[in-house]
A and B are shown apart, each in its own frame.
Chain A
Amino acid sequence: MTDPYIVLGVSRDASEEEIKAAYRKLARRYHPDRYANDPEGARAAEEKMKEINEAYDAVNRMRSGSSGHTGGGSSFVSVREKINRGYFADAERELDSMAEGARTAEWHYLKSALLARRGWHHDAMREIEIACAMDPANSEYARARELYHSRFGGFGSQYRGSRAGDPRFEGNRGGECSTCDICTTLMCMDCCCEGCGGDFIRCI
Chain B
Amino acid sequence: MFGYVKPVPDELLVKEHNFYRATYCGICRAMQKHTGRLCALSLTYDSVFFAIVRMMLTGEKCTASRCRCLAHPVRCRDCVRENDALIFTARAFSILAYGKACDACDDTRGLHRLPLLVARGVLRRAAKRADLPDLLAVMQRELAALAELERAHCPSIDEVVDCSGRMLGEFFAAELVGDEREIAYGIGYRLGRFIAAADAAEDFEKDRKNHNYNPYLFGGTGDFDEPERAAARLSLRAELYELEKEVLRLPHKAYPYMGNIVKNILYYGLPAHVRFLDEREGQEKGVKA
Asked if A41 is an interface residue, CB under 8 A from chain B, the answer is: no
- B-side contacts of A119, CB under 8 Å: 190, 242
Contact B7 A121 (CB under 8 A): no
Which residues of A13-57 are within 8 A (CB) of B? none
Is B9 touching A164 in the complex (CB atoms < 8 A)?
Answer: no
Given A122, A125, A152, A172, which contacts B8 in the complex, CB threshold below 8 Å?
A: A172
Whether the pair A159, B6 counts as a contact (CB closer than 8 A) is no
Nearest Cβ distance between residue A41 and chain B, in whole angstroms? Answer: 30
Cβ–Cβ contact B235 & A122, under 8 A: yes
Q: Mark B232-252, 1 if CB is under 8 A from A, else 0.
A: 101101111110100000000
B residues 152-202 in Cβ contact with A at 8 Å: 156-159, 162, 190, 197
CB distance from A182 to the nearest CB of B (A): 14
Cβ A170 vs Cβ B272 within 8 A: yes
Are B235 and A169 interface neighbours, CB within 8 A? no
Q: Does B267 contact A (CB under 8 A)?
A: yes
Interface size on B, residues (CB 8 A): 37
A169 proximity list for chain B (CB < 8 A): 8, 10-11, 268
B271 and A163 contacting across the interface, CB-CB below 8 Å: no
Q: Is B231 an interface residue (CB 8 A)?
A: yes
A153 touches B234 (CB 8 A): yes
In A141-158, the 8 Å CB interface with B consists of: 148-149, 151-153, 155-156
> Of B156, B239, B271, which one neighbours A123 at CB under 8 angstroms?
B156
Interface size range of chain A in the complex: 20 to 34
Instruction: Check A155–B271 contact: CB distance below 8 A.
Output: yes
**In the assembled complex, how far is the CB of residue A181 from the closest CB belonging to chain B, in whole angstroms?**
13
Q: Provide the residues of chain B in CB contact with A122, threshold 8 Å.
A: 157-158, 197, 219, 231-232, 235, 238
Q: Are A120 and B8 in contact (CB under 8 A)?
A: no
Find residues 29-67 in chain B having any chain A CB closer than 8 Å to their own CB.
45
Q: What are 16 pairs between A and B in contact, CB < 8 Å?
A: A120-B158, A122-B197, A122-B231, A123-B157, A123-B159, A125-B238, A126-B231, A148-B238, A153-B237, A155-B237, A156-B267, A159-B267, A164-B268, A170-B272, A174-B7, A175-B45
Q: What are the nearest 7 A-B pairs in CB distance? A: A121-B238, A122-B235, A120-B158, A155-B237, A159-B267, A152-B238, A152-B237
B interface with A by C-beta (< 8 Å): 6-11, 20-21, 24, 45, 156-159, 162, 190, 197, 219, 231-232, 234-235, 237-242, 244, 263, 266-269, 271-272, 275
- Residue numbers of A with Cβ under 8 A of B are 115, 119-123, 125-126, 129, 148-149, 151-153, 155-156, 159-160, 163-165, 169-170, 172-175
